Amino acid sequence: MRTAEFTLIAALLSAAILEAADLPDFSGTWETTYGTLFLQQDNSHVSGYYTLDGYSTIDGEVGHDGRFVFTYSEPTVSGKGWFEISSDSMSIHGMWRPDGGGEWYEWEGYRAGAGVTPSNWLVILESEWQSSLSEEEYSFGEMLEAWFARVSGVNVRHRFIHDVDDLTTFCLESSGLPGELYLVIASHGSSSGIELASSAVSSREFIDAIRPCSNIAMIHFSCCEIMSGQMAEAIVSSRSSWPEDFIVSGYSRSVDWGASGLIEIFYFNQMLENGFSPPDAATSVIEDIDFAGQSSTRWMDAAGFTWIQAE
């Protein structure tokens, strides 16, 4: 009896997994009739938000017929609706109506970047370093943005983040960028993880934030000591579908600001201008910059630059 029950449960679980794999994927960034829509899908459940008249949420399920049936909530009204996705997964169409009934209205959309030539995207999500008016404002992301303005085929987006919600929002938007995503997190850090102004970010929270980013080529933590902890291993182990040459890189030690700036301009230039793969670019950092790895030089402490590659 126990064997029969186990077999039945296993069969049901296998069927559920297969059904989820057959469902269309609504994840990503959509330009729609009612503003930019950001969706994240986990099996059949889809949630997200859009930007009409402020922050508005959407939540629902994808049925076996491929239709995403949802409820929405805006600042002054709520209602329900549905979306269907095109066969090439590049557009959505559907209907909506407010609570209480009445007429149904069309809601159309297309993937952000549809029709745009794919390119490389360097996205820097940065914590604000200064803590009072006595400090001059400074930003690592602005430095990278200025450097890569000269490189064709590279688009740079730099945003400040203060908490997990900011991180999640900008990662979700990044998932819709047309091309390869090179993601940089610039903040204070430790072996425990990313330290933002209002809270720390755990491995699980970071993995959840990047889940929609199927276009991600690599992740770099411009953070002290983060590679001495378990976050990088957790990220690499979180999925089996990483692209070829995907790596997570960062520092295992407390790194000098000037050293990290020199290392990272060289590192990203190798990838985004010179065409190196992420592992080859990381290797060139260690081989060409004497203090980048675990050995100090006469004038600079070892930075502890290192990386983990997905298998």
Cα distance between residue 105 and residue 73, in whole Å: 16
Domain ranges for the chain, please list them: 24-111, 119-309
| Banded pLDDT at 21 (limits 50, 70, 90) | low
Nearest residue to 309 (alpha-carbon basis) of 258, 247, 255, 242: 247
Give me 111's structure tokens.
């993937």
- CATH of region 24-111: 2.40.128.30
* pLDDT per position as a tens digit, 98-137: 999 889 999 999 887 665 566 899 999 999 887 788 878 8
The residue ranges of DSSP E strands in the chain, in sequence order, are: 28-32, 35-42, 45-50, 56-62, 68-73, 78-85, 91-98, 105-111, 119-126, 154-160, 179-186, 188-190, 193-195, 200-201, 216-222, 247-251, 305-309
Residue 189: exposed, middle, or buried by beta-carbon count in 10 A (0-12, 13-18, 19+)?
buried
What CATH topology corresponds to 119-309? Rossmann fold (3.40.50)
Residues in the chain, overall count: 311
If you average pLDDT over every residue of the chain, what do you get? 88
C-alpha span between 304 and 190 (Å, rounded) = 13
